[in-house]
Amino acid sequence: MPHEIPPRSGTAFLLQRGRRLAVIDPRGEQVADLLAFNHDDPGEAISSGRTFDYASKIYLTAGDPLYSNRSNIMLDIVEDSVGRHDFLLTPCSKDTFRIIYGDEDPHRGCFGNLAAALAPYGISEDMIPTAFNCFMNVPVDGKSGKLTVEPPLSKAGDRIVFEARMDLIIGLTACSALQSNNGSFKPIHWQID
Ligand SMILES: [Zn+2]
């Protein structure tokens, strides 16, 4: 049975090298922010910039590796039933909701949820990089570079599966931003095989 992350919350757990992590969208149109840190040295973390450099593209899917800030492969994407994820935008946060939505009493967002879940592993807020945003749909205009946050393309039961290439600390959320999730907050499921 998969684990469930309730709406607008997050968790952290260990993923051993060689194990597979499935991130599942049980109802459809729900984003999950994923972070990875080297278990033996959490100063090594997932890096969007390194990954884009080596992939020469910004949309990643099955067959693509996700690199660390030290240019080691942390995870391979081994299955993907959606084919559209985002690796450009930072985890939603109090500041996201204040600046973009004008909330006066903002939710702590994926950033706050990740920081709380990762604190017991010795990972502080300033160590949190851009997350791999499973199912997030951010089309980019190729000429102007303008980007928009659109509803996820994921349907109920869609999944993306990662295989760990080193022992990892994983942070994972059910995203808290209205716009990213087509206006409603839903759970995320995950499972290690
Ligand atoms: Zn979020």
CA of 85 from ligand 1 middle (Å) equals: 13
- Residues 12 and 39: their CA atoms lie apart, in Å, by 12
Distance 157 CA to ligand 1 centre (A): 20
Tell me the CA–centroid distance for residue 167 and ligand 1, in Å.
25
| Rounded Cα–Cα distance for residues 90 and 79 (Å) | 24
pLDDT for the residue 149: 96
CA–centroid distance, 182 to ligand 1, in Å, is 12
Tokens representing residue 92 in the block: 């939603």
pLDDT for the residue numbered 160? 98
pLDDT computed for residue 100 by the predictor: 86
**Cα 89 to middle of ligand 1, angstroms:** 10
Quote the ligand 1 centre to 63 CA distance (angstroms). Answer: 25
Measure 109 CA to ligand 1 centroid, in angstroms.
6
CB neighbours of residue 36 within 10 Å: 28
What's the pLDDT score for residue 83?
Answer: 98
Residue 88 has a pLDDT of 98
Per-residue confidence (pLDDT) for residue 103, from 0 to 100: 86
CA of 145 to the centre of ligand 1 (A): 22
Token pair listed for 119: 């604190």
Q: What is the pTM of this model?
A: 0.97
pLDDT for res 101: 84
Mean pLDDT by 10 residues, the chain (193 residues): 96 98 98 98 98 98 98 98 98 91 89 98 98 98 97 98 98 95 97 97
Residues with CB under 5 A from ligand 1 (ion): 92, 110, 175-177
Structure tokens at 75: 């995870």
pLDDT at 44: 98
